[in-house]
Structure 1
Amino acid sequence: MIAIHHKEEGFSPDWIHYCERSGIPYKRVNCYDSDIVKQLEDCDALMWHFHHASPKDILFAKELIYSLETAGKVVFPNFHTAWHFDDKVGQRYLLEAIDAPIVPSYVFYEKEKALEWSSKTEYPKVFKLRRGSGSSHVRLVEDERMAKKLIRQAFGKGFSQYNPAPNLKERWRKYKAGLIPFSSVLKGVLRFGYTTEFDRVAGNEKGYAYFQDFVPGNRSDIRIVIIHNRAFAIKRMVRENDFRASGSGFIKYEKENFDEDTVRLSFKIAEKLKSQSLAIDYLYDNGDPKIVEISYGYSKEVYQPCTGYWDRQLNWVQGPFNPQEWMVDSVLKEIRKNQTTAGSI
């Protein structure tokens, strides 16, 4: 039986619908309950689409999932899939360790070394925080003066998880583009009076400074998602008068927008990382794909217009699909593998 932590948004409604339609035994559980481990005693697996910006999830989601995996349960996402989720610095070490083609990056844990580097490096650079999605907390650093200012703040008061001014600016941009309702803009205005619960729980990001090289000439980025030996992709266009593509809302889906060599590379990286679900963001440097960051989760609605997917042999399968169902299939495969292994002992 599969246990599913259910919430109205995210992957779980699709997981539940697929289980009900396919006759797959499941039960709903609440991972926030104190007795959650006991609730899972009669289950073979737990599936929980925990969110990087949920104040409750960041407190214990990874700890619970990894504990269950250690005890022999199948989990989604598992350790290999999610330990680096919303941790750009952790991803940097991981991708460097497997010799993946990444955008060169620099991380410092000592203020003086960061300042020394800033006086010798070439600009522009891109400054990022370890946490955040949709290009939040991403800044183009034009010169040494700006770099030093960011470094001093990073090793001083740090950076809030929620910055109301740029957030409101982004909401206004999306409203003018017809991507969100005006009520979302009003919510952004109200945020000047009170911050988010996530910001209060997580606290300021500080004690480190993280930079990436700026890769010029990109008017878009490519995200390729690998799940259960299948791949699908989107092309995200950058904002007007900006360099950031993630979270822009301007997306292309047609197959001709994607290079199959990059898809092939993505399969190899997913296999090397032993990932159940891996979204890889790429820029191109003189035609060569360079990884910006990775993730296990994503906003599923963005991918519904995808026109098809690739299988492991790079055959293109035209038509609609539901990747959340593939996640359930991968968990079922792991359950059967565990049962076969146990039966052979």
Structure 2
Amino acid sequence: MIGIHARAGSFSDKWIEYFSAKGIPYKLVDCCDSNIMEQLEECNGLMWHWAHHDHRAVLFARQLTYALETSGKYVFPDSKTVWHFDDKVGQKYLFESIGAPVVPTHIFYNKTIAIKWAMTASYPKVFKLRGGAGAENVFIIKNYSDAKKHIDKIFGRGYKVKNRLNFLKERLWHFKRDRTLTSFLNISKGLARLVLPKEAEKKFPTEKNYAYFQDFIPGNDSDIRIIVIGDRAFGIKRMVRKGDFRASGSGNIIYDKNEIPIECIRIAFEVNARLGAQCLAYDFVYKDKKPLIVEVSYSYSREAYIPCPGYWTRELEWVPTSFFPEYFMAEDFSKLI
């Protein structure tokens, strides 16, 4: 029996569809209930697509995962897949520990040391908070003055995880890109958020007392995202936003397999094997014709990958087919139970 925490619009929609079609026993559970262990007594495993913007899940999802694994149950995502989720600081140490090809990253926990580094650093750099998706909480740093401004703030009043002004700017950018009634109406939501923040925004603590910088890698008009699920990998090419340096969240996606460098596929498989992860999305940029990992995440927007024309096997063989990534997750997990 497999326990599933159902969340509309998440991976769980297709998990339930897959298990129902295959006749695989499952039950719906609520991980936020105090008696979740009791709910899972008859289950051999739990599948829960929890999100970085769910303040409740952020509080306890990892701890629940560790506890269930200790009891002998299987979990998706498991601890090897999820401990570094939405944590760029953790990812820096993780990738450096295994010698993965990553964009050079600099982290400081002391303001004086951070400023001293910034005085002699080359620019531009990219300043990030440890969490955020879709290019959220990512800033280009053009010079020492910019760097010091962010260092002063992160070691001072800090940053809100959800920046409402950036949220409005995103809505404006999407309207300029799409020019649709829906994108226009979404601007009003952004304006409303400036005055009335969502309740969930108030639950997240302020990010402060660390400074995270990545080297800016010039010459990239796109990034490559490779998702590895078990023995399969598929990818997309995301074009950089017009007048910006960010590709994440642009919505300008190329699905042609010939645009996906096979070297990125190979590296993603190799790194994923080292990590022992069930499912991870790797973001790559290029420096001197060599792919470098920017960051990684087990969670992603499922709709963006439905048009993918196929996937690669671990042997780097191409399989042309339509598919749902969530079915791959469910298939692999059902084999464990």
Q: Which interval holds the TM-score relative to the shorter structure?
A: over 0.9
1:211 matched to which residue of 2? 213
Deviations 1:149-194 (A, max 9, x none): 1001010000011222222111111122227532321110001112
For residues 31-50 of structure 1, the C-alpha deviation after alignment (integer angstroms, 9 at most, x for no partner) is: 11111100000000100000
The separation in 2 between residues aligned to 1:42 and 1:7, in whole angstroms, is 21
The answer (yes or no) to whether the contact 1:236–1:246 under 8 Å persists in 2 is: yes
In structure 2, C-alpha distance between the alignment counterparts of 1:66 and 1:298, rounded to whole Å:
22
Is 1:112 the counterpart of 2:112? The answer is yes
Instruction: State the AA in 2 paired with 1:274.
Output: G
The Cα offsets for residues 193-221 of structure 1, whole Å up to 9 and x where unpaired, read as 12233331112100100000000000000
In the alignment, the residues of structure 2 paired with residue 105 and residue 90 of structure 1 have an alpha-carbon distance, to the nearest angstrom, of 11
Matched position secondary structure for 1:191: helix
- For residues 163 and 78 of structure 1, the distance between their equivalents in structure 2, rounded to whole angstroms, comes to 30
Does 162-171 or 282-291 show the bigger shift?
162-171
The counterpart of 1:254, out of the listed 253, 256, 265, is 256
Structure 1 partner of 2:223? 221
- Within 5 Å, which residues of 2 pair with 1:53-202? 53-178=53-178, 181-202=183-204
- In 2, Cα distance between the equivalents of 1:7 and 1:321? 21
Contact map agreement 2:171 2:183 (CA 8 A) in 1: no
CA–CA distance in structure 1, aligned partners of residues 284 and 80 of structure 2: 20
Which one-letter code corresponds to 2:183 in the other structure? Answer: P
TM-score by length of 1: 0.95
Aligned to 2:17: 17
Query: 2:322, 2:268 → 1: CA distance?
Result: 21
For 2:218 and 2:33, how far apart are their aligned partners in 1?
48
Distance in 1, matches of 2:239 and 2:94, equals: 27
1:287 aligned residue: 289
Deviation at 1:307, TM superposition (A): 1.0
Task: Give 1:333 deviation, angstroms.
Answer: 2.2
Deviation at 1:329, TM superposition (A): 1.6
The 2-side partners of 1:296 and 1:65 are apart by: 14
1:291 counterpart SS class:
strand
1:86 is paired with a residue whose SS is: coil
CA-to-partner distance for each residue in 1:251-292, whole Å, 9 max, x for gaps? Answer: 111101111121011100000000000110000001100010
RMSD: 1.0
Secondary structure of the residue aligned to 1:185 is: helix
Question: Aligned AA for 1:3?
Answer: G
Structure 2: segments with no counterpart, 5+ residues: none
Identity %: 49
Contact 1:106 1:210 in 2 (8 A): yes
> Post-superposition, which runs of at least 4 consecutive aligned residues in structure 1 deviate over 3 A?
none
Provide the rounded CA distance (Å) in 2 between the counterparts of 1:219 and 1:306.
21
Select the residue among 321, 325, 331 that pairs with 2:323.
321
The residue number in structure 2 matching 1:45 is 45
8 Å CA contact 1:236, 1:245 repeated in 2:
yes
CA contact (8 A) 1:124 1:141 kept: yes
1:23 is aligned with what amino acid?
A: G
Q: Take 2:46 and 2:26, find their aligned partners in 1: how far apart are those partners?
A: 10
Q: Secondary structure at the residue paired with 1:278?
A: strand
Question: Which has the higher mean CA deviation after the structures are superposed, 187-196 or 9-18?
Answer: 187-196
Measure, in 2, the Cα distance between the counterparts of 1:123 and 1:158: 23
Q: In 1, Cα distance between the equivalents of 2:292 and 2:76?
A: 27
Structure 2: distance between partners of 1:9 and 1:211? 33
Q: Which amino acid aligns with 1:328?
A: A
**One-letter code aligned to 1:334:** L
Matches within 5 A, 1:294-309: 294-309=296-311
Please give the secondary structure, in 1, of the residue aligned with 2:80.
Answer: helix
Aligned length: 335
Using the alignment, how far apart are the partners of 1:163 and 1:33 within structure 2?
30
Letter of the structure 1 residue corresponding to residue 307 of structure 2: P
CA distance in 2, matches of 1:297, 1:199: 20
Runs (5+) with no aligned partner, structure 1: 336-345
The 10-residue stretch of structure 1 (71-80 or 58-67) with the greater mean CA deviation from structure 2: 58-67
